[in-house]
C-alpha cells in the first residue's frame, strides 16, 4: 500500500541482496524509519521489541531470520540454532511456527552449501505468498461488504469496526482485516471505519489510523470502551478483526479486547467476522481458551505511554499511580460461537471444525 503516494511493503531485501529492511513500527505514526536487519539476532530482537509485529509479518520476518542465520552457519546445528532462537521470540502468533517449520522443512534436506541462497529464495516466496493470500482475503471479504451494502438504502455508508492493527503493516501488504476495506473503498463504495485505539500499545490509534489515513479511507479513532455504545446505536454494520491464532474449531485468539467486542456484537446483532490467512490456523488445537498460549508483556506498556509533545519531541510519560501492580495480557480468545464467519484466502468458513476442514482438507489433521 502507499505512504505519501509511494508504494511500500513492510519488509524487503536491501540493495546488497543480504540485508533485510523493515519499517520500524515503534516509530509510527510520527516517523517513517526503515531499519536494516543484518543478523539472526537483529531479527529476533526486532520481533521481540515489536519493531515488526502482527502475526503474518512476524512469520515473514522470521523466514528471513532463518536466511540471515544461514549466512553465519549453514550446518544442521546452525539451522537448529536459528529455528530455536526465533521460535522463542513471541508465543501467541502461530504464523511464527508455521514459517519456521516451512523454512526448516525446506532447508534441512539440502546440502549445507546450498542452504543460504535457498533460504533467501524461500523467504522471498513466503512474502509474495502472503501478499497473494491477503489479496484473496480481500476479494472474499469484499463480497460480504457488498451483501451488507445491498440491504441498506442505496448510497449509504458502510460502517466497519476493527480492533488493533490487522492492516498492511501487520502483514507484507494489504492486511487481513483491512484488505476487504481497501478493496471496497477503491471500488468507490462509501466506507467508514471505527478504529479501536487498542491499549496498551495503541496499534489502532498509531498504525491502523496511519495506514487508513494515508490511503484516504474515512475513519474515526475511538477509545477501546466505545465499541459497545456505537453498536447499540446502530452505528456499526459489521466488525472485521484479524487473528494471531485460530484453532481448528474456530476459536480466535486476537489482541486483548477482541472478546469484549465480539460479546457486544452478539448482543446487538452485528456480524462479527475474522479475516485470516490459512497459516494462522493451528490445526493441532481444539480448545482456544484452554490451549492457546497468551503472551504477557511488560508492565511498562501499561504504566507508560509514548506520544508527541507540542514541541514536536517524542516523549514517554508515566500514567499509572506509582507502585500499583499491573497485568498486561497481550491477547484474548473469542469462542467460535461468537464468530459469524472466517474470511480466508479460499473462501468464507463458518467458525466450526467441519467448515474449516472442508476449506483446507490438505491441512486438517496436520
Catalytic residue list: 244
Asked if 209 is part of the footprint of ligand MRU (rule: CB under 6 A), the reply reads no
Measured from the Cβ of residue 50, the count of other Cβ atoms closer than 10 Å reads 17
Among 164, 193, 238, 342, binds ligand MRU (CB under 6 A): 164
Nearer to ligand MRU by Cβ, of 159 and 254: the residue is 254
H or E segment to which residue 124 belongs = helix 112-150
Give CA torsion, residues 334, 340, 343, 347, to 10 deg: 140
- The least CB distance from residue 359 to ligand MRU, in Å, is 19
- Cell of residue 229, nine digits: 455504545
Angle at CA of residue 38, ends 37 and 43, nearest 5°:
50
Asked if 138 is part of the footprint of ligand MRU (rule: CB under 6 A), the reply reads no
- The least CB distance from residue 312 to ligand MRU, in Å, is 26
Measured from the Cβ of residue 154, the count of other Cβ atoms closer than 10 Å reads 6
Among 10, 74, 89, 243, binds ligand MRU (CB under 6 A): 243
Asked if 11 is part of the footprint of ligand MRU (rule: CB under 6 A), the reply reads no
Nearer to ligand MRU by Cβ, of 93 and 149: the residue is 93
Nearer to ligand MRU by Cβ, of 126 and 241: the residue is 241
Kindly indicate which of the ranges 116-124, 127-135, 165-173, 354-362 contains the residues binding ligand MRU, using the contact rule CB under 6 A: 165-173
Count of residues touching ligand MRU (by CB under 6 A): 17
Asked if 74 is part of the footprint of ligand MRU (rule: CB under 6 A), the reply reads no
Asked if 54 is part of the footprint of ligand MRU (rule: CB under 6 A), the reply reads yes
The 10 Å CB-count burial string (b at 16+, else e) for 193-203 is bbbbbbbbbbb
Among 202, 203, 206, 334, binds ligand MRU (CB under 6 A): 203
Give the C-alpha separation, 136 to 196, whole Å: 25
Asked if 241 is part of the footprint of ligand MRU (rule: CB under 6 A), the reply reads yes
Asked if 244 is part of the footprint of ligand MRU (rule: CB under 6 A), the reply reads yes
Instruction: Decide if 329 contacts 296 (C-beta within 8 A).
Output: yes
Asked if 55 is part of the footprint of ligand MRU (rule: CB under 6 A), the reply reads yes
Q: In terms of DSSP bridges, do strands 158-162 and 238-241 run parallel, antiparallel, or are they unpaired?
A: parallel
Asked if 245 is part of the footprint of ligand MRU (rule: CB under 6 A), the reply reads no
- The least CB distance from residue 95 to ligand MRU, in Å, is 8
Q: Helix, strand, coil % (nearest 5) of the chain?
A: 45, 20, 40
Measured from the Cβ of residue 148, the count of other Cβ atoms closer than 10 Å reads 16
- The least CB distance from residue 280 to ligand MRU, in Å, is 8
Give the C-alpha separation, 192 to 186, whole Å: 13
Cβ-based burial of 299 (10 A; exposed 0-12, middle 13-18, buried ≥19): middle
Kindly indicate which of the ranges 11-19, 99-107, 214-222, 240-248 contains the residues binding ligand MRU, using the contact rule CB under 6 A: 240-248
- The least CB distance from residue 166 to ligand MRU, in Å, is 4
Asked if 23 is part of the footprint of ligand MRU (rule: CB under 6 A), the reply reads no
Nearer to ligand MRU by Cβ, of 74 and 254: the residue is 254
**Nearest to residue 328, comparing CAs of 280, 296, 293, 285?**
296
Give the C-alpha separation, 303 to 192, whole Å: 32
Binding mask 168-187 for ligand MRU (x = CB under 6 A): --x-----x-----------
Asked if 60 is part of the footprint of ligand MRU (rule: CB under 6 A), the reply reads no
- The least CB distance from residue 258 to ligand MRU, in Å, is 7
In sign, the C-alpha dihedral spanning 219, 276, 40, 9 is negative
Asked if 68 is part of the footprint of ligand MRU (rule: CB under 6 A), the reply reads no
Among 83, 255, 261, 338, binds ligand MRU (CB under 6 A): 255
Q: Could you please report the per-residue DSSP string of 233-261?
A: TT--SEEEE--SEEETT--EEEETTHHHH
* Interface with ligand MRU (CB under 6 A): 53-56, 164-166, 170, 176, 203, 241-244, 254-255, 330
Amino acid at each position: 500500500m502507499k505512504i505519501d503516494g509511494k508504494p511500500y511493503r513492510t519488509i524487503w531485501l536491501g540493495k546488497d541482496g543480504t540485508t533485510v529492511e523493515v519499517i520500524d513500527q515503534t516509530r509510527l505514526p510520527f516517523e517513517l524509519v526503515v531499519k536494516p536487519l543484518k543478523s539472526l539476532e537483529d531479527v529476533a530482537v526486532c520481533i521481540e521489541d515489536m519493531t515488526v509485529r502482527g502475526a503474518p509479518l512476524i512469520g515473514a520476518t522470521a523466514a528471513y531470520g532463518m536466511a540471515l542465520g544461514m549466512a553465519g552457519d549453514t550446518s544442521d546445528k546452525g539451522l537448529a540454532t536459528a529455528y530455536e532462537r526465533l521460535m522463542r521470540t513471541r508465543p501467541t502468533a502461530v504464523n511464527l511456527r508455521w514459517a519456521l517449520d516451512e523454512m526448516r522443512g525446506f532447508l534441512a534436506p539440502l546440502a549445507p552449501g546450498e542452504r543460504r541462497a535457498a533460504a533467501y529464495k524461500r523467504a522471498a516466496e513466503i512474502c509474495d505468498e502472503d501478499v497473494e493470500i491477503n489479496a484473496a482475503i480481500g476479494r472474499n471479504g469484499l463480497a460480504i461488504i457488498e451483501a451488507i451494502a445491498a440491504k441498506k438504502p442505496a448510497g449509504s455508508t458502510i460502517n466497519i469496526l476493527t480492533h488493533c492493527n490487522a492492516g498492511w503493516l501487520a502483514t507484507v501488504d494489504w492486511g487481513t482485516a483491512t484488505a476487504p476495506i481497501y478493496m471496497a473503498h477503491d471500488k468507490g463504495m462509501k466506507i467508514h471505519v471505527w478504529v479501536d485505539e487498542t491499549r496498551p500499545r495503541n496499534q489502532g490509534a498509531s498504525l491502523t489510523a496511519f495506514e487508513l489515513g494515508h490511503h484516504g479511507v474515512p475513519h474515526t479513532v475511538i477509545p477501546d470502551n466505545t465499541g459497545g455504545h456505537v453498536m447499540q446505536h446502530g452505528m456499526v454494520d459489521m466488525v472485521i478483526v484479524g487473528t494471531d491464532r485460530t484453532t481448528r474449531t474456530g476459536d480466535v485468539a486476537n489482541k486483548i479486547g477482541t472478546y469484549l467486542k465480539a460479546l457486544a456484537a452478539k448482543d446487538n446483532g452485528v456480524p462479527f467476522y475474522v479475516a485470516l490467512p490459512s497459516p494462522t490456523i493451528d490445526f493441532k488445537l481444539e480448545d482456544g481458551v484452554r490451549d492457546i498460549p497468551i503472551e504477557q508483556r511488560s508492565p511498562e506498556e501499561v504504566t507508560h505511554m509514548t506520544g508527541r509533545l507540542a514541541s514536536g519531541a517524542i516523549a514517554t510519560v508515566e500514567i499509572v499511580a506509582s507502585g500499583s501492580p499491573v497485568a498486561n495480557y497481550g491477547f484474548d480468545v473469542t469462542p467460535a460461537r461468537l464468530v459469524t464467519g472466517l474470511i480466508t484466502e479460499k473462501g468464507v468458513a463458518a467458525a466450526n471444525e467441519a467448515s474449516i476442514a472442508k476449506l483446507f482438507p490438505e491441512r486438517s489433521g496436520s
